[in-house]
């Protein structure tokens, strides 16, 4: 096992990694930029080092600075968390050059699956169904129009080098294509330093399904079931659950086998996620691979009994894990609610500021992963995720009832958060019945849900 681990991240995920390392007796090193000096992960790591920078975001993306800290602190492994450098093969390569274990896949596997274009081509060769679309970069509006007419509108223009909805444009006809392609390229170049755009058919009323995979250092591969992530705003998830109401046991088994085959063929090690869209007819089409730990990994932990960060540490240090993983059979149900600093009654607009009062719910089957606390000033520079409320139970209905109670007891004042929206969702008949798609938020705006929910807790909310 490693002697010391540096966490190249901040906030909630940094604390998540620190907690597992502490339990395993592995010392940790945290990093932070000037605006993060009061962030909770700084005090929880065994040692924290400031990255001196004029740009608080760039600091977490500075490979040279992070490697310098790692060498000075004599760490033998780096956990990248999610976001920032977690899916940059250049970072993984640099770790290899310095003799530091990177707790993620190899640079080769990351390049193969990290680019959406190369991942689509690879997965199609494995036999995984992919969304009809292009396998090459679009060079001009005329070419894009030609391909779109072959596939049929509406289509999505998508950035090959990243996600989170950036570089993505929905196009309904030829006349929209030129402006949409130019806009998508510019946004992708700014966000990912990669203007490469491709297109694929846009599915309406689709569901977003992802499969958690693990590859170990001995060439074994495992699939730990699926998660549904269809409740999204701006193409970013806010509620996840496992298992999905829409995935039958037969489909789960078939897709798990395909995912395992892909992991083996790619020579993939560590955690990864294969994401799919499900059509209204129940067909799954590959979207992309995430070559890192996911924000929503805790719900998989609760139904499998695994600590997925521990799995990363063990696989990275060549500790055998096949006996544990081969016996895993997910059971029960779990949901995760992302508590973001944003106003759901104002188009989920970011709402940074100072937290005046902060009280988390507690109890059996309730877990909160968070870096928030009373007096914490939510910065403007970073993602506004404050916490994740994770609920488990024997059945979906039991989880929904427990989530309703936990959300009612979750108190954050001083800033706007997504808690009121989650309270409304868990009471909504469509969601409770499992009848929802990626258009759920658009079709169930907070104001609309409020009109149909008789509950005094919401009086005056958003007004």
Nearest to 285 by CA among 199, 208, 222: 208
Q: Where are the alpha helices (DSSP H) in 133-281?
A: 141-151, 174-192, 249-266
Do residues 81 and 14 make contact, with C-beta atoms less than 8 angstroms apart?
A: yes
Residue with tokens 């959300």: 407
Chain-centroid distance, C-alpha 450: 28
CA distance 81 to 447: 35
Do residues 233 and 348 make contact, with C-beta atoms less than 8 angstroms apart?
A: yes
In the structure encoding, which two tokens stand for residue 152, read together?
A: 């049929």
Torsion from C-alpha of 214, 366, 457, 424, nearest 10 degrees: 30
Residue with tokens 């409304």: 424
Do residues 419 and 341 make contact, with C-beta atoms less than 8 angstroms apart?
A: no
CA distance 101 to 103: 6
CA distance 19 to 26: 10
* Omega cis (within 30) before 154: yes
| Known catalytic residue at 292 | yes
Query: Active-site residue among 292, 402, 423, 427?
Result: 292
Nearest to 115 by CA among 181, 164, 159, 169: 159
**Residue 127, CB-side half-sphere exposure with 13 Å CA sphere:** 11
- At a CB cut-off of 8 Å and minimum separation 6, what does 43 contact? none
CA distance 316 to 222: 16
Do residues 408 and 362 make contact, with C-beta atoms less than 8 angstroms apart?
A: no
**Residue 242, CB-side half-sphere exposure with 13 Å CA sphere:** 23
Backbone angle region of 215, left / alpha / beta, with phi > 0 → left and psi within -120 to 50 → alpha: beta
Do residues 409 and 443 make contact, with C-beta atoms less than 8 angstroms apart?
A: no
In the structure encoding, which two tokens stand for residue 271, read together?
A: 């955690």
CA distance 77 to 79: 7
CA distance 419 to 385: 12
The residues assigned a catalytic role are: 292
């Amino acid at each position: 096992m490693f002697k010391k681990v540096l966490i190249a991240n901040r906030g909630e995920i940094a604390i998540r990694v620190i907690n597992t390392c502490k339990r395993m007796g592995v010392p940790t090193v945290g990093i932070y930029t000037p605006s993060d000096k009061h962030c909770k992960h700084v005090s929880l790591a065994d040692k924290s080092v400031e990255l001196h920078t004029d740009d608080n975001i760039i600091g977490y993306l500075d490979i040279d600075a992070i490697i310098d800290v790692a060498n000075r602190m004599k760490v033998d492994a780096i956990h990248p968390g999610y976001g920032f450098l977690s899916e940059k093969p250049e970072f993984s390569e640099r770790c290899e050059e310095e003799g530091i274990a990177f707790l993620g896949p190899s640079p080769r596997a990351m390049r193969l699956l990290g680019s959406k274009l190369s991942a689509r081509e690879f997965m199609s060769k494995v036999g995984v169904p992919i969304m009809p679309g292009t396998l090459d970069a679009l060079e001009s509006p005329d070419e894009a129009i030609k391909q779109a007419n072959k596939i049929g509108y509406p289509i999505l223009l998508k950035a090959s080098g990243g996600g989170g909805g950036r570089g993505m444009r929905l196009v309904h006809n030829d006349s929209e294509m030129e402006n949409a392609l130019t806009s998508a390229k510019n946004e992708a170049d700014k966000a990912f330093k990669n203007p490469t755009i491709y297109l694929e058919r846009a599915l309406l009323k689709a569901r977003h399904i992802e499969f958690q995979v693990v590859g170990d250092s001995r060439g074994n591969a495992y699939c730990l079931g699926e998660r549904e992530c269809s409740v999204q705003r701006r193409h970013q998830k806010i509620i996840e659950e496992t298992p999905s109401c829409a995935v039958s046991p037969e489909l789960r088994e078939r897709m798990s086998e395909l995912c395992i085959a892909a992991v083996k063929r790619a020579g993939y090690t560590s955690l990864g996620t294969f994401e799919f869209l499900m059509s209204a007819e129940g067909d799954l089409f590959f979207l992309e691979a995430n070559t890192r730990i996911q924000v929503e990994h805790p719900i998989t932990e609760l139904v499998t009994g695994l600590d997925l960060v521990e799995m990363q540490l063990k696989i990275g240090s060549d500790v055998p894990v096949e006996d544990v993983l081969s016996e895993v059979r997910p059971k029960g149900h779990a949901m995760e609610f992302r508590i973001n600093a944003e106003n759901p009654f104002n188009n989920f607009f970011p709402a940074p500021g100072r937290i005046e009062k902060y009280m988390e719910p507690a109890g059996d089957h309730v877990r909160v992963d968070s870096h928030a606390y009373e007096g914490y000033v939510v910065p403007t520079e970073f993602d506004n995720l404050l916490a994740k409320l994770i609920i488990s139970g024997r059945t979906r209905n039991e989880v929904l009832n427990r989530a309703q109670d936990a959300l009612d007891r979750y108190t954050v004042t001083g800033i706007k958060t997504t808690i009121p929206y989650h309270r409304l969702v868990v009471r909504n008949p469509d969601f409770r019945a499992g009848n929802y798609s990626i258009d759920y938020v658009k079709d169930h705006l907070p104001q609309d849900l409020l009109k149909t929910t008789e509950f005094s807790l919401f009086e005056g909310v958003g007004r």
